[in-house]
Structure 1
Amino acid sequence: MSAPELILASGSAARREMLQGAGVLFRVEVAPVDEAALKAELGVIDAAALAVELAKAKAVAVSRLQPDAWVLGGDQTLAFDGGLVSKARSLEEAKARLSAMRGRSHALHSGAALARGGEVVWSGVETATMQVRPFSDAFLGAYLQAEGKALLSCVGAYRLEGLGAQLFERIDGDYFTVLGLPLWAVLKQLRHVGALPA
């Protein structure tokens, strides 16, 4: 008897590439979750807990539609200067965000949840602390021009797997966590439930 299929309930290219790179077989079904409404419903909640709750909501939403599959949900939040940061809506906003982060640190929280039969069976979160270097205005301008609107899909307005690596002088945490998934914990859990060979 074959193992149940695995579904990634996220449209994130980085999460998809991480799982593919690790040799995980899965398909993508983007979760029909209104993140803004869920954030409003949850109220004031710390950034790490919010990443987990969003991941759970995505996993459960798809799991209710595909109850026989294992469904993996993922989400990432960014805490900076005492608040929660959302994706920039324009390149001007991205420029202002990166300028504010220059020479300072922020935290990225990557949450994940695994569901089956419409119920969460596991969830977890990992955090990476990102120390931004005091880059020049010239570098920032060149960076924004090179990356363009792709930055609007990233919560921090950067992609570490590209030119964005040059924005930082130190990172405390896991590379995969920075990309948006606590991969080691996810792989361990997929092995635990039999979705991956032990």
Structure 2
Amino acid sequence: MTLWRGTEPLILASQSPARQALLAGAGIAFEAIPANLDERAAVLGSALSAPGEIAALLAREKAAVVSAKYSGRWVLGADQTLAVGERLFNKPAGRAQAAGQLRALAGQAHELYSAAAVVRDGEMVFEALSIARMTMRPLDDAAISAYLDAAGEAVTTSVGAYQLEGLGVHLFERVEGDHFTILGLPLLALLEFLRSRRLLAV
């Protein structure tokens, strides 16, 4: 069942399974076309350091790259950053790096910044940023090892080495912020924008 009223599906400039699931669950017809953006180069070239600004920049850049190839289409870019204070975390490259991240996050609060941008014909027509605050419970090496054993390769697919919607829920003692932000998309703000453009039936 779709609530989408656009003449062509929304383009999601991402391969994120979580974001795709959010759009599908909201009844939005879309196709996923990754931006193939060199994110590290984009951040270094911007001289930005604040995690929210970096997430917003990458969301804009992803949408713009794909929009340049698809005239007339609504293109959604999204990005998420994780920070403890000013320290930014990236997706871990493997189990050892994931374990190191979890040791650094254990017993601490961190912030997730989820950004979205919509570009059409090279013009940015929508931008949103939302924040969630996550408090991880204290974890010893045995608990971290048990979690990594159970979660497997999934720990390398998201920043912070966890998916709250899966086994990652065992790592936390407190979560502040909406579910969609945690999964990587400020969905409520996006839906409001799409309604304003008469792209949704509800």
Q: List runs of 5+ in structure 2 lacking aligned partners.
A: none
Provide the rounded CA distance (Å) in 2 between the counterparts of 1:187 and 1:25: 13
Q: Show the counterpart of 2:45.
A: 41
Residues 2, 113 of structure 1: CA spacing in aligned structure 2 closer, same or farther, 3 A cutoff?
closer
SS in 2 for 1:75: strand
Among 113, 120, 124, the alignment partner of 2:117 is: 113
Kindly tell me the number of residue pairs found equivalent between the two proteins.
198
Provide the rounded CA distance (Å) in 1 between the counterparts of 2:101 and 2:160: 8
Q: Show the counterpart of 2:80.
A: 76
Q: Show the counterpart of 2:138.
A: 134
Q: Does 1:168 align with 2:146?
A: no
Give the root-mean-square deviation of aligned CA atoms: 1.4
Identity %: 44
Q: For residue 141 of structure 1, report the CA deviation from its aligned partner.
A: 1.0
CA contact 1:15–1:181 (8 Å) conserved in 2: yes
CA contact 1:10–1:31 (8 Å) conserved in 2: yes
Q: What TM-score do the two structures reach when normalised by structure 1? A: 0.95
Q: What TM-score do the two structures reach when normalised by structure 2? A: 0.94
Provide the rounded CA distance (Å) in 2 between the counterparts of 1:51 and 1:175: 18
Provide the rounded CA distance (Å) in 1 between the counterparts of 2:201 and 2:128: 21
The Cα offsets for residues 107-148 of structure 1, whole Å up to 9 and x where unpaired, read as 000000011001211111000000001133322111101111
CA contact 2:48–2:54 (8 Å) conserved in 1: no
The Cα offsets for residues 53-90 of structure 1, whole Å up to 9 and x where unpaired, read as 10000111111111211011100001114211111111
Among 146, 149, 153, the alignment partner of 1:149 is: 153
Q: Does 1:9 align with 2:6?
A: no
Q: For residue 44 of structure 1, report the CA deviation from its aligned partner.
A: 3.1
SS in 2 for 1:37: helix
Residues 48, 2 of structure 1: CA spacing in aligned structure 2 closer, same or farther, 3 A cutoff?
closer
Provide the rounded CA distance (Å) in 1 between the counterparts of 2:60 and 2:86: 24
Following superposition of structure 1 onto structure 2, how do residues 68-107 of structure 1 map, counting pairs within 5 Å? 68-107=72-111
